[in-house]
Every structure is written in C-alpha cells, then in structure tokens.
Amino acid sequence: MFQESINMKKIFSRRSLARQVREEAAEIAFLRPHPEHLNNGEESAYRNSENELSYIANYSKGLPHNDLGEVDQKAYRLLLKALCSGNPDDFEAIPRGCTHGKSELSESSSEEKKRLGCRRLINPQAALAFDLEGPDAQSLTIRPAPRIDGAENACEAIELYWMALLREVNFTDFRDNCDIEKAAEELSNCSDFRGPKEDGKVTPDVIFRGSTPGDVVGPFVSQFLLKDIQYGTLKINQRQRTVVPNSDFMTDYKMWLAVQNGFDFSGQDKCDDVPRYIRNMRDLGNYVHFDALYQAYLNACLILLDMGAPFDRGNFYITSENQDGFGTFGGPHILSLVTEVATRALKGVWYQKWFVHRRLRPEAFGGLIHNHLTGRAEYPIHPEILNSQALKAMFDKNGNYLLPQVFPEGSPTHPAYGAGHATVAGACVTMLKAWFDESYQIPKPMVPNEDGTQLVSYIPYSGPGTEVLTVGGELNKLAANISIGRNMAGVHWRTDYTESVKLGEAIAIGILQEQKLTYNEDSCFSLTKFDGTAITI
C-alpha cells in the first residue's frame, strides 16, 4: 500500500511536470511579437480604363481572365472575400477560369478540355491552421515584395529572362561562355540588382548563385545534390531523370492564356532516357518540379551521418564517456527534426502568400510585358526590363516577350511570395546547421562530367573556388540551389528566395527554442544564420 502511494505520487509529479513544460513552451510562443503584415500596395494602386481596380500585379492564376490575361475583377474580389472571412464555403465559391466565361480553347473539342483538366487553388486555408509547436503561422513576416513599377522587380525579371535563355549551359562552363558574360554584364549594370557580386560586379563566377555564406565557394551545385545517399541498406546515386534540351513551355500566347485560366497541361514533360547528375539550370529546374519538399535535406542528413560528420559541439553526447545519443541528440532525432519542420514552414509562408502579398508569378508578368510591348495594353512596368538585352534576345528566339517555363503547366496555383520551397529550405537547413559542426570540411568534392553521366573530382581554380567546402557552406548552397532552381524553371523571383529562407530559419529557431525545454541533457545548439551572424540556443 505504501509503495503504491509512492508510485501514484511519481505519476502525478510527472503529469504535472509534463504540463508545466507545455505551458512554458506555450508562453514562449505567446510572448513572441505578432508583427504588422505589410504588402507593397499594388492591389489598390492600378486601375483600368474604366477606373476600376485591375489587380494586374497580383496573383490570379486559375481565375477567369480576359483576352489580355487580366483577371475578372468580380472573381478576384470573391477570392478576397474568402481570404477576409476564412469561411470554407467562400473558398468554394471562387470562380475558376477553365469553367467560367469565354474559353481560349473554345475551338478545342470537349474531349480535349476534359483531358487537360482544370487546376484548383492550392490550400489557402493552410494559413489559418494552428500548430502545437514553434512560431504561429501569423507571428512572422517578410518585407513587402518589389513592385512591377520598381527597379528591383525589373532587375529580377532581367535575371529570369537570362536564366530562361541559358538553361542549357553547364554550370562548369559558365566561366568560358560568352552569353553568360553578356548576362553578367547586364545584371552588373542593373540599377537595383541585389544578387551576389564580386568587387561590385556580377561575374560568371557568382551569377545566378545565392546570397548566403558559402554560396559562391566552389562548384555551383551543392555536394549534397551529388554525393551518394546511404538509405538504410540501399546506396542511392543521385543521377536524376532529366528533360531533353530546349523543351520549354508556354512559348505562345494561346498556351500562356490557357494556363492563366487554369487549364492543366502537366505531364507533357519531354524526358531524357539517360539518368544524369544535375549539370545545368534545366536539370535543376526539373529536379524542383518533382521533389518532395524536404527531400534534399533528408538526403543531406543521411549523407552527413554516413560520412561521419561531427555533431555540433554543444551536443551533450560528444563529451559523455558512457552514453550515446539516439532518440535525443542522435541520428533518429535529427532525421525526424529535418522533416518535422517542413509542414510548419509551409503554414507560415502560406499566410504570407495568400493573406498578405498575393504577388504575381513571373509567367504572368511576362504576359504583361508582351501585351505592353506589342501595343495591346499599357502597364506601369519599369523601363529597365522593357529595354533589356535579355528581353530582346527572347523576342529574337521565340517571336514574343513571354517568359518560357520548364514546367508544362507553369507555376503552381498559389501566389509567388514567399516561396514554399525556399521557406522549407531555410527551415530544414537551419536544423541541419544547428545539429552538425558547420566547419567540418566536405571530403572529396565532385562535379558532373560534361554529359552528367558520371562524377569527377573537383579541381579548384583561381577564384572563389579556392576556399574549402564546409558543411555550413554547402548546406547554405543547397538551400540556394533548391530555391533558385525554381527561378530557373521560371516560377519564382529572386526575392521569393532571399526573404523566404529567412522566414524558414526563424521558424526552425523557434522550434529549437521550445524543444530545449523538453530535454534532460544539458545541451545547446549553435549555428550561423543566413545573414552570417552566429547564435546559440
């Protein structure tokens, strides 16, 4: 009887402590400030000839559009109504372009329309969900997106057009390619281009790369997208299913307009029969078309564990003489953390996408440019993109000013800013940097051969590549590769990457702060943030 009483007291004490831990974690989350969410004001800035709000600079893909690709204002206001109310029935009442009004496929058969299908809006209500761990989806924010009448957006668009023109150039050939030099020169002369530079200029060594520590060191592609993955008993090489060269989509106006109205052209990818390592922007764009969102970071974690990369110095078990980590501070712990953070990152960025910014996709901006320069309409587009060499080269190639896409269906049916891939990248990479020793040097770096069928040893040249490749730098580069790979496909902007990785980073740090309360071990995490500052949790 006495022993039973003692056991009951232990159980009650444990229950009380468990509740206390949850309450303390909830208090940490509650005390985080909820910032004001500001957009760039474009939604109420632009009007049509009838002095009605036109919403030309906002995301509207999948809704009904006129022949210029301008959204039906009533349909857009129904979208705004649903976002304002949060009522699930209001989301169901949003009209879809492929089922309402005049169809640009009116000459096609009903069988053809049925085959194509009608794309649906992707999950706006995810932004209204709550989480039981980490920052609330609405407690973090990103800066207003660049405006279509501003120089920053124009310079980002110039970069996207050059990417589309140069998708076939292998990364290992950038230094010797004259078209890459032309692109670098034009971006260097852009008045507000914020990508990486050397001595104030964009060069072939840094063009199209990320902006975080390690991004311009060594080969363009992160080692974590090249090295073999030890997946349990399977050794998996990272030769990918690629697509054939010059297989661009949305290169004619009729196709472009059908895609804006939500007709589904997915599944028309022209695949290569030979698996290849990622060599160029088309390969990388295709990778991020089909990847699971946390796939690259789970792979990176498995690679790090397999190579014996040391854990962060704050890990308790590094100095323990008779214990190893496992469920806490061991392999299973980090393997679950790097995936666990992904869905929380998505909820945070989905709020920014749907409820704050509603930034148009690059493919829609390409339609604005085309109609403006062909005299069909007049839009407040910044002149730097209109007068760019990249745009002229695209017209010489395709006979129009549209931005060609790697994906047959173009962008996903949700707004551009922030980016889901980039936010998940920021969150997952932050977890990995917190867990592993960032200074550890990657052994035996590799690059693909010319046709991508084999890996060969990387030989540093005189330039940025002379520095060693570290875990921290290659993880940052991995986040940039995946995020900017979406730009290379034509579906995102540079700021979608730069701002979203920081959003994901904040979400991961918040989760680590709350989980610190749950451990018995006296451990800490240290990491270098994307802005280069070091922190300890």
Q: Of the candidates 352, 414, 363, which has an alpha carbon nearest to the alpha carbon of residue 94? A: 414
Contacts of 434 (CB under 8 A, 6+ apart): 312, 508, 512, 525, 526, 527, 537
User: Pick the catalytic residue: 357, 382, 414, 492?
Assistant: 414
Contact at 8 Å (CB) between 131 and 344?
A: yes
| Residue 85 CB neighbour total at 10 angstroms | 11
DSSP 174: G
Strand partners, 456: 447
Strand partners, 63: none
User: Pick the catalytic residue: 357, 370, 421, 492?
Assistant: 421
Is 421 noted as a catalytic residue in this protein?
yes
DSSP 470: B
Phi, then psi, of 512 in degrees rounded to 5: -65, -40
Residue-wise burial string across 481-506, b where 16 or more C-beta atoms lie within 10 A, e elsewhere: bbbbbbbbbbbbbbbbbbbbbbbbbb
- How far apart, in whole angstroms, are the C-alpha atoms of residue 497 and residue 194? 12
Half-sphere exposure of 182 toward its Cβ, with a 13 Å CA cutoff?
A: 15
- How far apart, in whole angstroms, are the C-alpha atoms of residue 481 and residue 486? 9
- How far apart, in whole angstroms, are the C-alpha atoms of residue 236 and residue 525? 30
- How far apart, in whole angstroms, are the C-alpha atoms of residue 295 and residue 480? 15
Q: Of the candidates 490, 478, 243, which has an alpha carbon nearest to the alpha carbon of residue 364? A: 490
Is 333 noted as a catalytic residue in this protein?
no
Half-sphere exposure of 319 toward its Cβ, with a 13 Å CA cutoff?
A: 9
- How far apart, in whole angstroms, are the C-alpha atoms of residue 507 and residue 513? 10
Contact at 8 Å (CB) between 210 and 429?
A: no
How many residues does the structure list for the chain? 537
The SS3 of residue 456 is strand
Task: Report how far Cα 198 is from the mean position of its chain's Cα atoms.
Answer: 25
Q: Of the candidates 361, 355, 359, 315, which has an alpha carbon nearest to the alpha carbon of residue 334? A: 315
Half-sphere exposure of 207 toward its Cβ, with a 13 Å CA cutoff?
A: 32
- Residue 448: its H or E element: strand 446-448
- How far apart, in whole angstroms, are the C-alpha atoms of residue 248 and residue 295? 25
Q: Where in the sequence numbering do the catalytic residues fall?
A: 414, 421
